[in-house]
């Protein structure tokens, strides 16, 4: 079956702009989580969406937001980009409930200049 | 505070040699414990996970990990490494087995000496 698909794979934006990243989960998965990976801070949880509702949230400023559609596809948006937002953004999907596994996409590499 | 410590930033082993990657964690409740692998330019792949039961867990690609509650450790091992094992390895903890709110360690980069 198809894996988690993230688009675009690479993105270059200018400081102050906004950006939207997309994640299509594995078919049947209703939970989608987003992570930011940077050399300095490592992998950090941004938020999780389940059935179109944000269920969990990490410690990121309000400039980082997301949403989930009825087909479980998710988008995350970063407004007023800062240089420090340059990172690999990873999306992961999973079934809900116990004893499930998280499947990660290949990520979107965002560079802010 | 919840945290994961991987004390080794970079390890180099010879092909065919054994491997052990260290991981210590701090977590209030009984967590799920994971090991993930990330190849350059790729996402994360789950190697194995533990929540309860037998403290020696078998994973994919010949990896295993041992949970030691008294030491709050979850070390990853492989008896004989292959050149294709070169990658970054992340230990992680979470309240759930799904993708939500996973706390990752800083990673250990594994290089393989021919």
Which among A43, A93, A96 is the nearest to B104, CB-wise? A43
- Indicate if the pLDDT at residue A24 is higher than 80: yes
d(CA A44, CA A62): 15
Question: Tens digits of per-residue pLDDT, A25-78?
Answer: 999 999 999 999 999 999 999 999 999 999 999 999 999 999 999 999 999 999
What would the mean pLDDT of B90-110 be, rounded to a whole number?
91
**8 Å CB contact of B46 and A43:** no
CB contact at 8 A, A105 and A90? yes
**8 Å CB contact of A102 and B99:** yes
How confident is the prediction for chain B on average, in pLDDT? 94
What would the mean pLDDT of B18-23 be, rounded to a whole number?
98
d(CA A102, CA B97): 7
d(CA A109, CA A107): 6
Provide the pLDDT for residue A8: 97
Radius of gyration of chain A (CA): 13
What would the mean pLDDT of B6-12 be, rounded to a whole number?
97
Range in B40-44, B55-59, B70-74 the model is least confident about: B40-44
Instruction: Note whether B105 contacts A: Cβ–Cβ < 8 A.
Output: yes
- Indicate if the pLDDT at residue B31 is higher than 90: no
d(CA A49, CA A28): 14
Which among B43, B100, B104 is the nearest to A56, CB-wise? B100
């Amino acid at each position: 079956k198809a894996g988690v698909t993230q688009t675009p794979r690479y993105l270059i934006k200018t400081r102050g702009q906004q950006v939207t990243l997309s994640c299509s989960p594995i078919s049947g998965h209703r939970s989608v989580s987003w992570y930011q990976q940077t050399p300095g801070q490592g992998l950090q949880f941004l938020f999780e969406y389940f059935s179109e509702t944000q269920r969990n949230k990490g410690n990121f400023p309000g400039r980082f937001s997301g949403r989930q559609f009825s087909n479980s596809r998710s988008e995350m948006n970063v407004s007023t980009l800062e240089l420090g937002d340059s990172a690999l953004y990873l999306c992961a999907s999973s079934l809900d409930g116990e004893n499930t596994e998280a499947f990660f996409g290949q990520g979107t590499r965002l560079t802010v200049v | 505070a919840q945290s994961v410590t991987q004390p080794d930033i970079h390890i180099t082993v010879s092909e065919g040699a054994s491997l052990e990657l260290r991981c210590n964690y701090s977590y209030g409740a009984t967590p799920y414990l994971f090991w993930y692998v990330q190849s350059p330019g790729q996402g994360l792949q789950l190697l194995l996970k533990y929540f309860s039961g037998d403290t020696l867990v078998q994973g994919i690609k010949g990896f295993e990990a041992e949970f030691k509650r008294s030491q709050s450790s979850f070390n990853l091992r492989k008896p004989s490494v292959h050149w294709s094992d070169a990658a970054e390895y992340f230990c992680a903890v979470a309240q759930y087995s799904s993708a939500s709110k996973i706390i990752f360690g800083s990673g250990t980069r594994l290089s393989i000496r021919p």
